[in-house]
Structure 1
Amino acid sequence: MKIYDDKHIKNVVFVGAHNSGKTTLAETMLYEAGLINRRGSIESRNTVSDYHEVEQEKGNSVFATPLHTEWRNYKINIIDTPGLDDFIGEIISSIRVADSIVTVLNGQHGVEVGTEIIWNYIDRYRKPTLFVINQIDHPSAKFEESFKSITNLVGNNAVKIQYPLIVDGSQCIVDVLKMKMYKFLPEGGKPEKLEIPEDQKDTANYLHNELVEKAAENDEKLMELFFEKGSLNEDEMRKGIKAGMLNHELFPVFCMSALNDMGSGRLMGFIDNVAPAAADLEPEQSTDGKDIIPEKNKPTVLFIFKTVHQPNLGQVTFFKVKSGELKVNDKLVNSRNGETETFNQLFIMDGKDRKPVNKLTVGDIGATLKLKFTETNDTLAEPGHEMTIKPIQYPQPRYRKAISAVNNKDEEKLSEALKKIHSQDPTVVVSYSKEGKQLIVSCQGELHMAIVEWTLNNIHGIEVSFDKPKIAFRETIQRSSNANYRHKKQSGGAGQFAQVHMKIEPWFEGIDEPQGFNIRGKEEVDLPWGGKLVFYNCIVGGAIDQRYLPSVMKGILEVMEEGPLTGSYIRDVRVMVYDGKMHSVDSNDISFKIAGAHAFKEAFLNANPKLLEPTMELTVKVPEEMVGNVMTDLQSRRSIIQGIDSNDNYQILKCIAPEAELYGYSTDLRSLTQGRATFKSVFSSYQPVPNNVQKELVNH
């Protein structure tokens, strides 16, 4: 296989809403370049990109799939991504390693919800971006409306390179960069190159001049040249367009029909000649702020952006060469764990097909098998030149369920399978709730969870069931209370005896020391589950020997691990042990532990116990016209609106919401806003549960 230098390697990622035609476009580009001799289709389940069984079964992309094509002495690495934001992790990791983004729109709908969500990430990374309005030959296609939706998204820096035209019943594309018209046969393929018709020259000239001005704006020398000549030639325009894309201030717009092979060759030509390569971008930065220079004579550095576990292959690791060159049998060091990895094999991947290569140069994307110590987001570098590239930041999960194996014998197998799923998709987060005694899987949405279930069933052979996660309530008290407990047990030899008197009170930061007690000792315990226990030794006259007090506290802590209201953890209590009795023979540690536990439990129940619930700081981004419905829904969830900010055509709602009321919120919000709203949540604090809710929970 031909080895390309860094100036002739272009890495593009196809993004766009569901059904915009990304996979079909990738298939058409591979066909046009002669890398496949017939085009597959989604319906026939035989595309190069959607090769996973689950993708063929569901009829849509689930994973980001690296491919490549070769066009006029350039290598174009393509990553075809899913269109549903449940799989946003696949999209983000692909955007991270792309040099340019190709955003594909369905010409019938223009910018859709999925496009808006993805654009937020493109904009955050400020990646060079072009737009493709696809399906222009569909009877319901609306090119001008689609273009207007692009300008609404990115502003007036969107500029037409092409527009569609029907001439004598044939689909044509007018290209205002080359000032030519391409006329296609009904079956597509190589077009006939023609002069622009007379009745289109005014429109084409206007758009050409607009393109010239936009190109000139991005380079001072070009601007001077433009003022001097009044125009720019095609090469000068290409230079200005590239500069604008690199500045994230120019967004070229193309049109095509990927399904009927109209316009893909011209798009590939633009990617070759104009779209930035890795060497054109700002250098990647290490976590300590150093630039990683993308040159092949520099030390080799790789960034791992994707991991796949395949039943027949094991772990497949995808990487981008950030500097230097990687050769077969090279040894690199993983900066995260210091382990050395040997690259026994190197591949270019086209879907499931592997093409062995001997080396990969800076800017290229490749894969290898069976690395032992490496995961997504790791950096590998030459020994002595170790560094860590800033990791991909994945969004927080929005949907969670408790999971268990139907067959108890599969529990260990389930745990291992979920580790592999997380390794492959870091947006699937697995945790264990000690309080609820549940294994929790968190992900991006219902469909995402369905893919997790499918993978467990079909790849790992584990049947699972899902439940609602239990809420991690806390228990505390609202007033002071006294109690004493005598523990007495007599049997054959030595018996057990202990009596403990205590007072308990609510604790809060800054509280005054307790009054009316002779405080002889104080111990503060920062509880693992949050909050505090403050324990005072107030014993006078030796009623209880000093050595038994740790046992009393141990008994209290045991009760605090399983509160008497709902079995939840107790927090924020202070205890004054002020009296008691002991026996010279029968008293021991276990006796005082039991007495301390019983006295504390009794006092707790008499201290007006209160249930606390976890609340979340919720931020919802919602289109202006849908704010009312979303606010009404939030208020029905016992949420407290704390503020509203504006952001373009969106409103940002900030509120505090009980975690118990947010189960299924991802699905409900999507339904309420046709998928146009997004949200994120982080833990806020524990707050008292309303009395009616507490009563229901305690009686449950």
Structure 2
Amino acid sequence: MKVFDAKHIKNIALLGSAKSGKTTLAETMLFEAGLINRRGAVEDKNTISDYHEIEHDRGNSVYATSMHTEWRDYKINIIDTPGLDDFIGEIVSTLRVADTGVMLINAQHGVEVGTELIWNYMEQFQKPVIFAINQVDHPKANFDASLESIKQHFGNSATLMQYPLNPGEGFNAIIDLLKMTMYKFPPQGGKPEKLPIPEEEAEKANRLHNELVEKAAENDEELMELYFEKGTLDEDEMRQGLKIGMLNHQVFPIFCLSGKNDMGSGRMMGFIDNVAPGAIDMVPEKTEDGNDIECKIDGPTILFVFKTMIVPNLGKVTFFKVLSGTVQQGMELVDHQTGNVEHLNQLFIMDGKDRHPVDKLEAGDIGATLKLKFTETNHTLRPKNLDITVQSIQFPEPRIRAAVIAKSKSDHEKLGEVLHKIHQEDPTVEVNFSKELKQLIISCQGELHMSIVKWQLENIYHLDVEFISPRVPYRETIQKEAATSYRHKKQSGGAGQFGEVFMKIEPYYEGMAEPKDFPVRGKDEIELPWGGKLIFYNCIVGGVIDQRFLPAILKGVMEKMEEGPLTGSYVRDIRVMVHDGKMHPVDSNDISFKIAGMMAFKNAFIDANPKLLEPIYDMEVLVPDELMGDVMTDLQTRRSIIMGMDTKGSYQIIKAKTPLAELDKYITSLRSITQGRASFTSKFSEYAPVPMDIQKKLAQDYVEHED
């Protein structure tokens, strides 16, 4: 297979809402270039891109799929992405390695919810964007309304390159404003006839062409001078200006096409070849320490892994972008994150599930390899003598949680292994076993995302599982001091058990003075793994408890702090003074004083006005202006405290503090309230007191459960 250099490689991401036609366009692009002989259809479940069983079941993309095509001496790597926000991880990893995003707009609907949400990520990556108004041959197509919606949402940087002469069922011609030519397509689509622009369209076409010339000129001082000098620019000069504008995010070219009927796709592919920036034009990738990685063939071989898939009967497939140098079959590279050497015994270009072996790939290209033992998504592969790590992809935080239970006890261990594989494929699926909650917790982007994971568990790995609401990691503490004693005495023939402990406990806060009621003989200051502190004082006078039993008392206190008396949650921020007690010369031992310490602490805790704390999360909700009131009303029903608001274009950012207990399935509710037009992020902030009525109910539930 032909090897392309960085100047002739273009990496594009097909983006857009569900049903905007991304998969169909990808199929047409491969057909147009002659790489496939027959176009598949989503309805027939035979496209190159959507080949997974779950995608056939659902009828839309779930995974980002890599393909390639060749067009006029250029290689175009195409990654077809899902259109739903639940699969944003697939989109984010694609945007990281794509050089240009092609945003498809359904001509029936214009800019949709999915378009807006994906655009927010496009802005983060600052990648060049092409808009493609697709399905202009649909009976309900409205090109002018779609064009207006693009300009309304994305501003005057959206730049018209062509327009359909007759959108709707009769669509068969495009007026191209760069080449000032009419392309007329045969009824079956394909190669168009190039014709002069009709006389009745000349005035409109000339006006729009002049606007395009001005847009191309304003991105470069030399071009602007040429424009003032000549009054126009030639086609090559316009291409140069448009490319500069795309790189600076000041020009977003707009095309029109019918992906299904292969009308206009070839012209857009030509523009991608001639104008759209490639890897060599982009701002260099960065290392973790901020240094540039130049996209050049004579540099060191550096691969960045952006995707991993576990394929049945094949194993692990690792997708990478060659950031620098040349990678060759049989090469040995070091996984920088693990330090292990990986053997790249096979190199491939992927077209969906089909693998095409290659001997080498050069800087700027995208490829895949099989059966790497140690390398995962976000890892860097580099030569042994080069200490370098590529900046990682920052995946969005999860927005929904569930506890996963294997219905068969024999599947418990296998469930953990399988979920780890799913996390390898999709880092936005986070999995951890919470010792505190005694649950296996899975975190995803939304209910649909979670349902896909459940489908995989049941249909691919044949595990019968149940997803339930996870428990909340509450914390317990106290609000006043309390003193108590406990005597543990047990006689059962032979040596018995005896230990008596007198104890005082009180709330702890940073900077508080040392105890004055008792002499301090020793002090342990313990940073608790779950947050907060335990300060443990030895205040024993006269040897009433032997020094060797103090660690056992501390152990008893710690065990009760791991399962608090109020709700069984972790206890924090308490100081304990052991100041008196009794022991027996024969029957006293570690276990006796451990139990006495545990029970004394428990009794004192109950008398110290216990308080339950709940985790509070900082939230940012991105919502359209007109829906802000509905979202704020809903937040207030969730005990949220509104902290402020910011503006971002036509969106408002609501900042709030919300208890984790109220965030269960919030993403589902938010999408319902806003028809899917809002999104949110959250991160842990602090622990705060639970309202007393909720505390009483949780404590009562715990007592009933224990009984």
Q: Distance in 1 between matches of 2:567 and 2:361?
A: 60
- Secondary structure in structure 1 of the residue aligned to 2:466: strand
Residue of structure 2 equivalent to 1:676: 677
Q: Which amino acid aligns with 1:34?
A: G
Percent identical among aligned pairs is: 64
CA offsets per residue over residues 630-676 of structure 1, 9 Å max, x none? Answer: 11111111111111222222111111111111101010001110111
Q: Distance in 2 between matches of 1:119 and 1:588?
A: 67
Q: After TM superposition, list the pairs within 5 Å mapping 1:171-250 onto structure 2.
A: 171-250=172-251
Residue of structure 2 equivalent to 1:448: 449
Question: Shift of the alpha carbon at 1:6?
Answer: 1.6
Q: Which amino acid aligns with 1:362?
A: A
Question: Shift of the alpha carbon at 1:169?
Answer: 4.9
In the TM superposition, structure 1's runs of 4+ consecutive aligned residues that sit over 6 Å from their partners are none
Residue of structure 2 equivalent to 1:152: 152
- Secondary structure in structure 1 of the residue aligned to 2:288: coil
Q: After TM superposition, list the pairs within 5 Å mapping 1:284-433 onto structure 2.
A: 284-433=285-434
Question: Shift of the alpha carbon at 1:153?
Answer: 2.7
Is the contact between residue 136 and residue 171 of structure 2 (CA under 8 Å) also seen in structure 1?
A: no
Question: Shift of the alpha carbon at 1:53?
Answer: 0.9
Would you say how many aligned residue pairs link Structure 1 and Structure 2? 700
Q: Distance in 1 between matches of 2:545 and 2:421?
A: 55
Q: Which amino acid aligns with 2:503?
A: M
- Secondary structure in structure 1 of the residue aligned to 2:188: coil
Q: Distance in 1 between matches of 2:568 and 2:509?
A: 22
Q: Which amino acid aligns with 2:398?
A: P
Residue of structure 1 equivalent to 2:96: 96
Question: Shift of the alpha carbon at 1:419?
Answer: 0.9
Residue of structure 2 equivalent to 1:614: 615
- Secondary structure in structure 1 of the residue aligned to 2:166: strand
Residue of structure 2 equivalent to 1:555: 556
Residue of structure 2 equivalent to 1:128: 128
Q: Distance in 1 between matches of 2:492 and 2:273?
A: 91
Residue of structure 2 equivalent to 1:586: 587
Q: Distance in 2 between matches of 1:614 and 1:457?
A: 33
Q: After TM superposition, list the pairs within 5 Å mapping 1:30-45 onto structure 2.
A: 30-45=30-45
Residue of structure 1 equivalent to 2:532: 531
Q: Distance in 2 between matches of 1:235 and 1:7?
A: 17
Q: Distance in 2 between matches of 1:114 and 1:28?
A: 23
Q: Distance in 1 between matches of 2:46 and 2:4?
A: 29
Question: Shift of the alpha carbon at 1:187?
Answer: 2.1
Is the contact between residue 612 and residue 686 of structure 1 (CA under 8 Å) also seen in structure 2?
A: yes
Question: Shift of the alpha carbon at 1:411?
Answer: 1.3
Q: Distance in 1 between matches of 2:685 and 2:445?
A: 20
Q: Distance in 2 between matches of 1:349 and 1:324?
A: 20
Q: Distance in 2 between matches of 1:169 and 1:91?
A: 34
Q: Which amino acid aligns with 1:204?
A: A
- Secondary structure in structure 1 of the residue aligned to 2:484: strand
CA offsets per residue over residues 209-231 of structure 1, 9 Å max, x none? Answer: 11111111112211111111010
Q: Distance in 1 between matches of 2:593 and 2:383?
A: 62
Question: Shift of the alpha carbon at 1:516?
Answer: 2.1
For the pair 1:519 / 2:520, whether they are aligned, the reply is: yes
For the pair 1:110 / 2:110, whether they are aligned, the reply is: yes
Q: Distance in 2 between matches of 1:95 and 1:134?
A: 21
- For structure 1, which runs of at least 5 residues remain unmatched after alignment? none
- Secondary structure in structure 1 of the residue aligned to 2:558: helix
Q: Distance in 2 between matches of 1:354 and 1:386?
A: 31
Q: Distance in 1 between matches of 2:460 and 2:122?
A: 33
Q: Which amino acid aligns with 1:445?
A: G
Q: Distance in 1 between matches of 2:255 and 2:549?
A: 81
For the pair 1:55 / 2:55, whether they are aligned, the reply is: yes
- Secondary structure in structure 2 of the residue aligned to 1:396: coil
Q: Distance in 2 between matches of 1:265 and 1:386?
A: 43
Question: Shift of the alpha carbon at 1:170?
Answer: 4.9
Is the contact between residue 30 and residue 68 of structure 2 (CA under 8 Å) also seen in structure 1?
A: yes
- For structure 2, which runs of at least 5 residues remain unmatched after alignment? 702-707
Question: Shift of the alpha carbon at 1:520?
Answer: 2.2
Q: After TM superposition, list the pairs within 5 Å mapping 1:567-582 onto structure 2.
A: 567-582=568-583
Q: After TM superposition, list the pairs within 5 Å mapping 1:462-541 onto structure 2.
A: 462-541=463-542
Question: Shift of the alpha carbon at 1:313?
Answer: 0.9
Q: Distance in 2 between matches of 1:143 and 1:513?
A: 76
RMSD of the TM alignment (CA)?
Answer: 1.3
Q: After TM superposition, list the pairs within 5 Å mapping 1:231-270 onto structure 2.
A: 231-270=232-271
CA offsets per residue over residues 157-190 of structure 1, 9 Å max, x none? Answer: 1110011112995531111000011122332211
Question: Shift of the alpha carbon at 1:61?
Answer: 0.3
Q: After TM superposition, list the pairs within 5 Å mapping 1:596-611 onto structure 2.
A: 596-611=597-612
Is the contact between residue 170 and residue 183 of structure 1 (CA under 8 Å) also seen in structure 2?
A: no
Residue of structure 1 equivalent to 2:705: none
Q: Which amino acid aligns with 1:513?
A: E
Q: Distance in 2 between matches of 1:503 and 1:297?
A: 72
CA offsets per residue over residues 327-382 of structure 1, 9 Å max, x none? Answer: 11111111111111111111111001111111111111111111111111111112
CA offsets per residue over residues 115-135 of structure 1, 9 Å max, x none? Answer: 111111111111111100001
Q: After TM superposition, list the pairs within 5 Å mapping 1:647-658 onto structure 2.
A: 647-658=648-659
Q: After TM superposition, list the pairs within 5 Å mapping 1:78-89 onto structure 2.
A: 78-89=78-89
Residue of structure 2 equivalent to 1:10: 10
Question: Shift of the alpha carbon at 1:208?
Answer: 0.7
Q: Distance in 1 between matches of 2:65 and 2:438?
A: 37
CA offsets per residue over residues 392-449 of structure 1, 9 Å max, x none? Answer: 1000000111002121111111111111110000000001111221101101011111
- Secondary structure in structure 2 of the residue aligned to 1:105: strand
Is the contact between residue 333 and residue 386 of structure 1 (CA under 8 Å) also seen in structure 2?
A: no
Q: Distance in 2 between matches of 1:111 and 1:207?
A: 22
Q: Distance in 1 between matches of 2:368 and 2:268?
A: 26
Residue of structure 1 equivalent to 2:139: 139
Q: Distance in 2 between matches of 1:546 and 1:332?
A: 58
- Secondary structure in structure 1 of the residue aligned to 2:322: strand
